[in-house]
């Protein structure tokens, strides 16, 4: 006959490295620094953080209230010795549910547990009758983590408050934008239809308002408020222009640049779509991007451009921010080239640039130069100088493939124009 294998009964709950760390952390508690009332209020507030649900919070409050208040004094020992059956009776749940919730609280670092060999919970007292140790549910880790958890609750509440404010502001801005669209009588039907399409595009980007992040709502609100100002034909805000007062532009001689598209960007552009390779000097309805220069200075001719080419190295990010105030208008505040590159898809959506045009630009120019090109296109679109941003970006991509694109000149030229607008 074979040997009979005896399966020993496991003693206590499964111990993981995380639970062992929580036990060690609980031993460092400075008992007496936090009262029972403070812990009870904290336990009720933890549901907003997502660490525990309402039923687990109810159980944790019951555990805290079970311990006498003096147990949280310096000479006390906040340990619960009630059985799962008694706890289940008090909170109106099954014994198995209580056992699972205790494990969840243990994993969340809100309690620690020490089980005996027979699964009984009992205190160990000294000769004076004071509890020195015991097998039960230890609440000391709540004292250790009180400041951390309380700060977490404060942060979540602050975020919720900011999200509610952003939600209310967005809804108000969307309502005002649609009202202003219906009340704008000085604009043509084509202009109103294009502005209405942009408002609908912003609404579609936000999607379900209750699920949108505060960051997206703030950007959408700023854009809607900007559209309202455009419909009301208000002047540009001076705060945006003040940032460009100290800008220097070493590559521009007189700061004057050529108008590259029709001055009526809200007009129908499908019938009058210009070629991207048209010469600026031949027509007032020249193409979206000149073949020989992009944002070319009036004092420079074609021969000078051929003789003296600007280096193709990227300009500084600060120069791009000064040249493209539309980034701030649309809610973008990149602090690095990586931030600007990550904002490109959203910039393309705001400007109506297709994914294919963006992908071609990135493939031909690289991610960093493509980000600058999209930013320049967005600025032109914001200035109402480009009626087809997608075609404008494609023209720049083609010129980059031919080696005729000078983004540095474009950036410095736009920055010079902004500086002149501030001075005048």
pLDDT tens, 139-160?
989 999 999 999 999 999 998 8
Burial profile 346-385: b = 16 or more Cβ within 10 angstroms, e = fewer: ebbbbbebeeebbebbbebbeebbbbbbbbbbbbbbbbeb
pLDDT tens, 52-74?
999 999 999 999 999 888 888 88
pTM: 0.50
pLDDT tens, 95-109?
999 999 999 999 999
Burial profile 238-274: b = 16 or more Cβ within 10 angstroms, e = fewer: eeeeeebeebebeebeebebeebbbeebbeebeeeeb
Give Cβ neighbours of residue 201 (< 8 Å, ≥ 6 apart): 349, 350, 352
Whether 232 and 403 have beta carbons less than 8 Å apart is answered as no
Torsion over CA: 85, 91, 97, 101 (sign):
negative
How does DSSP assign 276-295, residue by residue? TT--GGG-TT--SS-SS-SS
Q: What is the pLDDT along the chain (424 residues), one digit of tens a residue?
A: 455 554 444 445 778 888 889 988 988 888 889 999 999 999 999 999 999 999 999 999 999 999 888 888 887 788 888 888 999 999 999 999 999 999 999 999 999 987 766 667 767 666 666 666 677 888 989 999 999 999 999 999 998 888 888 889 988 888 888 888 887 767 778 888 888 888 888 888 888 888 888 888 888 888 888 888 877 766 665 544 444 444 444 444 344 344 444 444 444 444 433 333 433 333 333 333 433 333 333 334 333 433 333 344 457 888 888 888 888 877 788 888 888 888 898 888 888 888 889 999 998 888 888 999 999 998 888 888 888 888 899 999 988 888 888 888 888 888 877 777 655 4
């Amino acid at each position: 006959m074979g040997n009979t294998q005896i399966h020993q009964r496991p003693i206590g709950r499964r111990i993981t490295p995380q639970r062992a760390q929580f036990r060690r952390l609980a031993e460092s508690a400075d008992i007496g620094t936090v009262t029972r009332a403070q812990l009870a209020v904290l336990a009720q507030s933890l549901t907003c953080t997502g660490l525990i649900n309402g039923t687990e919070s109810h159980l944790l409050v019951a555990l805290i209230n079970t311990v006498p208040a003096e147990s949280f004094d310096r000479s006390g020992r906040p340990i619960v010795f009630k059985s799962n059956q008694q706890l289940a009776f008090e909170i109106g749940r099954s014994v198995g549910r209580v056992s699972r919730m205790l494990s969840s609280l243990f994993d969340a670092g809100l309690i620690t547990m020490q089980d005996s060999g027979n699964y009984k919970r009992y205190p160990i007292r000294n000769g004076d009758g004071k509890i020195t140790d015991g097998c039960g549910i230890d609440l000391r880790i709540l004292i250790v983590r009180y400041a951390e958890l309380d700060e977490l609750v404060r942060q979540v509440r602050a975020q919720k408050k900011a999200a509610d404010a952003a939600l209310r502001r967005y809804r108000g801005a969307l309502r005002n934008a649609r009202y202003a669209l219906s009340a704008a009588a000085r604009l043509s039907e084509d202009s109103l239809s294009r502005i209405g399409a942009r408002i609908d595009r912003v609404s579609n980007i936000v999607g379900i308002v209750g699920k949108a992040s505060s960051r997206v709502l703030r950007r959408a609100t700023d854009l809607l408020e900007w559209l309202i100002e455009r419909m009301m034909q208000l002047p540009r805000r001076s705060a945006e222009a003040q940032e460009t007062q100290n800008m220097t532009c070493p590559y521009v001689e007189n700061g004057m640049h050529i108008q590259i598209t029709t001055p009526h960007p809200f007009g129908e552009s499908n019938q009058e779509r210009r070629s991207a390779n048209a010469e600026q000097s031949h027509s007032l309805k020249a193409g979206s991007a000149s073949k020989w220069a992009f944002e070319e200075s009036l004092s420079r001719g074609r021969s000078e451009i051929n003789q003296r080419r600007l280096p193709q190295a990227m300009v500084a990010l600060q120069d791009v921010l000064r040249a493209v105030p539309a980034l701030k208008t649309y809610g973008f505040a990149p602090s690095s080239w990586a931030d600007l590159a990550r904002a490109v898809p959203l910039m393309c959506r705001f400007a109506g640039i297709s994914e294919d045009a963006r992908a071609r630009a990135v493939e031909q120019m690289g991610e960093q130069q493509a980000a600058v090109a999209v930013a320049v296109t967005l600025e032109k679109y914001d200035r109402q100088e480009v009626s087809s941003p997608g075609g404008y970006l494609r023209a720049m991509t083609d010129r980059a493939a031919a080696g005729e694109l000078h983004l540095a000149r474009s950036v410095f030229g736009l920055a010079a124009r902004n500086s002149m607008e501030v001075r005048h």
